Amino acid sequence: MNHRLYQDVEHVHGSVGDVLRLIRTGDTASRSTIARSTGLAPSTVGLRVDTLVELGLVHEVGAEGSRGGRRARRLELDGAAGFVAAADLGANHARIVLSDLAGRTITDTDDTGVSEPLPRADGPAAAVAELWRRFVQLAEDADLPMADFRGAAIGVPAPVAYPSGRIVTPAFEPSWHDAALGALFQEHTDAPVLVENDANLIALAERSDTLPPECSQLVAVKLGTRIGGGVIAGGRLHRGVGGAAGEVSHTSVDGVSAIGCTCGVPNCLESVASGGAIATRLRAAGHDVGTTGDLLRLGAQGDAAVVEELRAAGELIGRVLAGIANFFNPREVVLAGAMSASPPLVAAIRSELYRMCLPLVADDLEVRASRAPRDAGIRGGVVLALDEVLAPARIDELARRGVLAEVG
């Protein structure tokens, strides 16, 4: 494999990689359904499938139903053909999940109790070395040979420049500004390691699991100590030209900032209405509020000052989201992050959003909570890693070189 990233942008229609994509995303895939949906000749589909079987990526199982006595066998991605890693990094944690190629979790450090943060004092290269050491250790503990490691995705609570993967002004560790963690992994592996903003990963994880992927049009917002956002357009993560798409939190709002922000936008949403801003404002008024956990608890207990702050912040967030909904016309606005568990905040966001958006937009809009508030970020990392390592262009290259066949 080589170091080119984001191979998903280019591939040949009807190629081996394309056929694997259909097998991954289709409800039921067989040689005949693939021939129908691609328009390829059955003999060509047969060759493509044979290559995928030889590569160890696909196997045929069971019967799809009988038609004229001939049994159509169902094609499945072989999850055991390799594994990927996803990591979710923050100031106080480094959660790691190893997943098979079918997206099934093999091991999760939140279950094994070892999600302690990476050391950051010695710079990003040392942190990457430690993260790689943990990947190797987890694989060893799960009896996975590192030869089967296909790639990884790392989520960080900061903007990430696209396509360089450089972290921009990370509040969780300012000294990591401009660090390219993915490139630092080249010291340890030839497999692709992508770095992505954590809210973008949440958006990926929240893509519809009932509609075809290309029908997903959603905005995901991570509400925590800070605020982040991600956009899925036509089923794909929309990063914009430089990776900044979805940075809803740095929109100037009608309020006064309570915390600093490096964005330079006066009174940006994050500095006025994030969990960190609300807690800071309450502390200044003499309330005993330390963390977002305190805000949730006091809000649930009906503390009048806290509820009023949550309601006011929710209105500001809802108004910003209404502008985005009017412009983008999403099917869903998904609320995630610790603060999305606050009923007064969420109620205010919801009512202000619906009040301020066009009927044509509101009619088809669902404002909902994350399907897995605690796991969306890390699940999104698995999705991104798998989409990359199984990208049609990358599979086409494998097919040309027969790399997996030689290894397996």
Binding site for Zn ion (CB under 5 A): 250, 261, 263, 268, 270
CB nearer to Zn ion: give 158 or 268. Answer: 268
3 state SS for the chain: CCCCCCHHHCCCCCCHHHHHHHHHHCCCCEHHHHHHHHCCCHHHHHHHHHHHHHCCCEEEECCCCEECCEECCEEEECHHHCEEEEEEECCCCEEEEEEECCCCEEEEHHHHCCCCCCCCCCCHHHHHHHHHHHHHHHHHHCCCCHHHEEEEEEEECCCECCCCCCECCCCCCHHHCCCCHHHHHHHCCCCCEEEEEHHHHHHHHCCCCCCCHHHCCEEEEEECCCEEEEEEECCEECCCCCCCCCCHHHCECCCCCCCCCCCCCCCEHHHHHCHHHHHHHHHHCCCCCCCHHHHHHHHHCCCHHHHHHHHHHHHHHHHHHHHHHHHHCCCEEEEECHHHHCHHHHHHHHHHHHHHCCHHHHCCCEEEECCCCCCHHHHHHHHHHHHHHCCHHHHHHHHHHCHHHHHC
- Least Å from the CB of residue 150 to Zn ion: 36
- Least Å from the CB of residue 378 to Zn ion: 25
CB nearer to Zn ion: give 270 or 397. Answer: 270
CB nearer to Zn ion: give 47 or 265. Answer: 265
CB nearer to Zn ion: give 182 or 275. Answer: 275
- Least Å from the CB of residue 223 to Zn ion: 15
CB nearer to Zn ion: give 261 or 341. Answer: 261
- Least Å from the CB of residue 260 to Zn ion: 9
- Least Å from the CB of residue 310 to Zn ion: 20
- Least Å from the CB of residue 369 to Zn ion: 25
CB nearer to Zn ion: give 316 or 382. Answer: 316
